[in-house]
Structure 1
Amino acid sequence: MKKYFVYIVVLLLPILAVAQKQENKSDLKYQSLIPVEKQSLLKNIDVIFNTRLAFDNKFEDGDYESSNFSSNQFRLEIKGKIHEKVSFRFRDRYTREHQVGDLDNMSRSTDLAYLVFTLTPQTKLTVGKQSTDWGGMELDLNPIDILEYNDLIEYADNYLIGATVSHTLKDGKHTFGLQALNTRTKSLAVQYAGYDISGIKAAKAPLAFVSSWRGSLFEGKLKTAYSYSYFIEAKSKVLHYFVLGNKFQSKDFTLMYDFQYSFEALDNKGIATNIIASGFQAPAEDVKYVEHWLRAEYQIQPKINLLLTVMTNNTYAKFNGNSTEKLVTTYGLIPTIQYSPFKDLNLKFYASYVARKYNYSNYSKTQFSSADRNTGRFSIGIISPLLVF
C-alpha cells in the first residue's frame, strides 16, 4: 500500500506541471500539497491500523450474560525514519478513555511517542513515552494478539515517559538495556485517590530504573527477555520486579513462558487493595505477586494456527506487620484457532474462549467476605495490523 500511495503522488506531479504551464492564461499557480523535496520521506513512513474486531459472548459463573459486537482493539501507529540516525514511533489507543496523567502530562490512551537516536551501529538512545522494558514474551507481543493479559500486565502502567540506552553486541545475539522512567503516569495523590494515604509521603523523585537482557541462543531457537526493575513508589516505599521471559521456536511450533515476581511495599497494581478495601482506608502494603504465563502455538497448516494460553497469579499481603497471607489465586485458559486466508496480508479470523477463575483463600473469605467466581468470553473476530501505507 505504501508503494501505491507514492505512485499516486508521483502521478499527480505531471498534472500539476500542466496546470503551471497555463499560468500565462490564468495567472494561477498550483503546488503539490506535499512539497516535492519531502515526497521521498514517504518511503520511510509506515501507518498501521492495529485492529481486533469481535462478536463477544459473555458468561458469569456459568450463566449466559450478554452478546455484542466490539472493537476490542484499535491502535493507530505511525513509525519511520526522519533522518539517517533518527527514527520515531507513535501509537495511540482509540479503545481507551482519553485521560491525561498529572505526572507525565500525556494521555493514557497514548502507548508510544518516542524518538530513537542511533549513537553507534550497536548503541541506541530512546527518549519519550515507551514500553517499559520488563522483558517477558507476553508484553512483547502486539497487544491485538493478546486476548486477555495476565494480572500484572493488565493492572500495571506499561507505557511510561523516560529514556533508554540499549547496546547490542557485535554478534547481534545479545542486547542489554538500561531505562530511567517515571514510576507512574499519575501523582501519588491521584494514583491512590479514595484511600487514606495520610501516613505516606510522596517521593520527590518518583522514578523507575529497569535493567534488561535479551538474548538469542542455540542458533536462534531459544530467545530470552529478562529484567529487573526498581520503582520508587513513595518515600521509603519501593517496588522490586523480576521478569524471566523465554521463547522456544521451531519450524511449526512456538512455546513461550514468562515468570514474574513483584514485591511492592505499596500496592501499585491495586489487586490486593481491592480485596481488603472497605471504605476509606490505606492501600495494601508489603504485597507480593507471583505469576506464570505459558503460550503454545502450532501451525498445523499454512493457513491454520492453534494456540493455547495458560496463566496464573498468586496475590499475597502482609497484615499486622508480620503475617503474610495469600489472598487469591487467579487462573486463565485461552484456547484459540486462527485462520489466515491471504498469503500477502497479515489478517487472521479467529475463534477463542477466555476462561478466568478466581479462587479466594480462606483468609480472604473470612476477613473480607470474598467469594469465588469465574467468567468466560467466547469470541469470533478478526485480528490484523493493517498496513495502510
Structure 2
Amino acid sequence: MKKYIIYFVIVFLPLIMVAQTQENKSDLEYESIIPVGKQSLLKDVNVIFNTRLAFDNRFEEGDYESSNFSANQFRLEIKGKIHEKVAFRFRDRYTREHQVGNLDGMSRSTDLAYLVFTLSPQTKLTVGKQSADWGGMELDFNPIDILEYNDLIEYADNYLIGAGISHTLKDGKNTFGLQTLNTRTRSLDVQYDGYDISDLTAAKAPLAFVTSWRGSLFDGKFETAYSYSYFTEAKNKAMNYFVLGNKFKSNNLTLMYDFQYSHEDLDNKGIATNIVATGFQTPAEDVKYIEHWLRAEYQIQPSINLLLTVMTNNTYAKSSGNSNEKLVSTYGVIPTIQYAPYKDLNLKFYVSYVARTYNYSNFSKTQFSAIDRNTGRLSIGIIAPLLIL
C-alpha cells in the first residue's frame, strides 16, 4: 500500500504544483473593480449610512393605536475631495418618496448634491443643491438626531438649488454667508395645485436670498447661528424669514434655543392653508409663523446622555375681514435617553417619547370646525451615522 502512495505522490504532485502556480498567476491577471491608478482618490472619500431604526408605538388622544418597526431615517451620504481645492457632497434619503421637482429637475429625496470650491483659506463657494443656511441649531443637526422637527422646518423646502459664498474671518470664530437659491423645488402652479391661484402671477425669477452669521464667543462657550432670508413667492408676494439660533455649553450641559419668525404674503409652509382653505379655494395670505425651540442635553456619564426638547409654534393668517387672526398653537415635548456603548463608534441606543398637542383658536373652531387633538409616539431604537468607507 505504501508503494502505491509513493507512486501517486511522484506522479501527481508536480501536476498539482503546476496547477496551483497557474491559478495564482491567473488571479493576478484580473483587474480590481476600481482601477489601481484611481484607488488613491478613496483616501479623501467618506461613505456614510445615516441611519435611525426604531420600534414605534403610537397614541392618539391618549389611547394606544399601533406598534411597528420603522426605518425612520436612511440617508446615504458620500463626500470627499476630488481636487486640492474642490470637494463634493451627496446625500439621498431612501425613506422619502421619489418626486422630481418640476422647477429644479431633481428628486425631492435628494438632500444634497453640491461642489465646494476653496477660493482662499477663508472663502468658499458652494454650487448645487444645498441646505438653505437659515441658521438655528435645530436645522444644523444631522436629521437622524432630530426625532421630530418643529413645524417650520418640517413643512419647508430646506434643500434648494443655487449658489452660496461664505467667508470666515481670520480669527476663525465668525463666518458670514450669502446664498442665492431657488425659492422652492416646484413651480407656482404645482406648489398650489388644487387651489385657486387665478389672482396670482408667477414670478419670472422665483429666487431666495439668504444671509447668515455664525459666531463663537466667550472661548467657544456660546455660539450663534443667525440669518435673514427674503423669498420671492410670486409677483408682489414675498416671504421674510428671521432665525436666531443660540447655543451655550458648559462642562456636561448644553443648552440650545432657536427663535424663528416667518411673515409670508403667500403661505409657503401650507399649515395655515390647510386650516382655512376647503375645496378649490385660495391659499392663505398674510401668514405669520412664530416659533420657539429649546433643547437641553446633559451627559451624566460618558456613555449616557439625557435630552429634553420643548417646542411651540403659533400660526396667524388674514381672515375675510382683513384682520390677522390666530389659527393654532402647537406644542411638542420630547424627553430622550441615549446610551452609547462604544467609545470608537458613533452608535446610540435610545428611548424617547414624542408628545404633540394642537390647540386651535376659537376663530378656527367657529369658522373652520377645527378640533383640538394630541398625539404621542414611544420609540426604542438605534441612531448611527455608519462610516463604512
TM range (shorter): over 0.9
Q: CA deviation at 1:32?
A: 2.5
Matched, 1:220 2:229: no
Q: CA deviation at 1:22?
A: 4.5
Deviation sequence 1:202-239 (CA, Å, 0-9, x none) = 00000000000000000000000000000000000000
Q: Distance in 1 between matches of 2:29 and 2:22?
A: 7
Q: CA deviation at 1:346?
A: 0.3
Any idea what SS the aligned residue of 1:139 has?
helix
Any idea what SS the aligned residue of 1:245 has?
strand
Equivalent residue for 1:249? 249
Q: Distance in 2 between matches of 1:74 and 1:21?
A: 41
Matches for 1:369-380 after TM superposition, within 5 Å:
369-380=369-380
Matches for 1:106-185 after TM superposition, within 5 Å:
106-185=106-185
Gapped regions of structure 1 (runs ≥ 5): 1-17
Residue identity in the other structure for 1:123: T
CA contact (8 A) 1:19 1:30 kept: no
Matched, 1:234 2:259: no
Q: CA deviation at 1:250?
A: 1.5
Matches for 1:189-228 after TM superposition, within 5 Å:
189-228=189-228
Matches for 1:10-159 after TM superposition, within 5 Å:
22=25, 29-159=29-159
Q: What is the count of residue pairs matched by the alignment?
A: 369
Any idea what SS the aligned residue of 1:205 has?
coil
Residue identity in the other structure for 1:239: M
CA RMSD of aligned residues (A): 1.5
Q: Distance in 2 between matches of 1:369 and 1:21?
A: 78
Q: CA deviation at 1:29?
A: 4.2
Q: Distance in 1 between matches of 2:141 and 2:168?
A: 21
Equivalent residue for 1:344? 344
Q: Distance in 1 between matches of 2:367 and 2:149?
A: 28
CA contact (8 A) 1:118 1:124 kept: yes
Gapped regions of structure 2 (runs ≥ 5): 1-20
Equivalent residue for 1:187? 187
Equivalent residue for 1:15? none
Q: CA deviation at 1:251?
A: 1.8
Residue identity in the other structure for 1:45: V
Any idea what SS the aligned residue of 1:273 has?
helix
Equivalent residue for 1:8? none
Any idea what SS the aligned residue of 1:116 has?
strand
Q: Distance in 1 between matches of 2:318 and 2:113?
A: 38
Deviation sequence 1:36-64 (CA, Å, 0-9, x none) = 22111111000000000000000001111
Q: CA deviation at 1:322?
A: 2.9
Distance 1:170 1:274, change over 3 A: same
Q: Distance in 1 between matches of 2:41 and 2:249?
A: 36
Deviation sequence 1:133-162 (CA, Å, 0-9, x none) = 000000000000000000000000000000
CA contact (8 A) 1:19 1:29 kept: no
Equivalent residue for 1:386? 386
Q: Distance in 1 between matches of 2:320 and 2:280?
A: 18
Deviates more, 1:176-185 or 1:317-326: 317-326
CA contact (8 A) 1:340 1:349 kept: yes
Q: CA deviation at 1:33?
A: 2.1
Matches for 1:264-275 after TM superposition, within 5 Å:
264-275=264-275
Equivalent residue for 2:287? 287
CA contact (8 A) 1:20 1:29 kept: no
Deviation sequence 1:90-140 (CA, Å, 0-9, x none) = 000000000000000000000000000000000000000000000000000
Q: CA deviation at 1:319?
A: 1.8
CA contact (8 A) 1:20 1:30 kept: no
Residue identity in the other structure for 2:220: G
Q: CA deviation at 1:320?
A: 3.2
Distance 1:323 1:37, change over 3 A: same
Residue identity in the other structure for 1:210: V
Q: Distance in 2 between matches of 1:156 and 1:341?
A: 35
Output the TM-score relative to the length of structure 1. 0.93
Q: CA deviation at 1:31?
A: 2.4
CA contact (8 A) 1:287 1:317 kept: yes
Q: Distance in 2 between matches of 1:202 and 1:65?
A: 43
Residue identity in the other structure for 2:265: A
Deviation sequence 1:290-338 (CA, Å, 0-9, x none) = 0000000000011100000000000000123630100000000000000
Moved >6 Å (runs of 4+): 18-21
Matched, 1:330 2:348: no
Q: Percent identity?
A: 81
